[in-house]
Amino acid sequence: MSDNDNVVEVEGKIVAVLPGTMFRVELTNGHRVLGHISGKLRKHFIKITVGDTVKMEMSPHDIDKARIVYRLRNAASNRQAPKRSFGPRRRR
């Protein structure tokens, strides 16, 4: 959990990818919020696409926005995401 204790943790599903690392997320109760990815996800190049299930933190004061803090593993969906390439291998 973050430093601030009065956050609400919720889970949702990505329904749209918006510009500027913003996402439209639908919660389990049907409410749609605007989510942005946290710094840790940005730092570790975690890719988020439509259909992914994510864990978010919301402020109780503004329930229309949320911070995406974790992408849950989607075992049921068979994403054909390419493996990350670190460039050509050096020959020794």
Q: Residues 24, 15: contact at Cβ < 8 Å?
A: yes
Residue 17 pLDDT: 92
Q: Residues 6, 60: contact at Cβ < 8 Å?
A: yes
Residue 64 pLDDT: 93
Q: Residues 12, 56: contact at Cβ < 8 Å?
A: yes
pLDDT in tens, the chain (92 residues): 446 678 999 999 999 999 988 999 999 999 999 999 998 988 888 889 999 999 999 999 999 999 999 999 765 555 565 555 566 666 66
CATH of 8-71 given 1.10.3720.10, 3.40.50.620, 1.20.1250.30, 2.40.50.140: 2.40.50.140
Residue 4 pLDDT: 63
Give the bridge partners for 58, in sequence order: 8
Q: Is residue 23 classed as helix, strand or coil in its secondary structure?
A: strand
Residue 20 pLDDT: 87
Residue 67 pLDDT: 95
The residues spanned by each domain of the chain are 8-71
Residue 14 pLDDT: 94
Strand pairing class (22-27; 32-37): antiparallel
Q: Residues 52, 74: contact at Cβ < 8 Å?
A: yes
Q: Which amino acid is at 87?
A: G
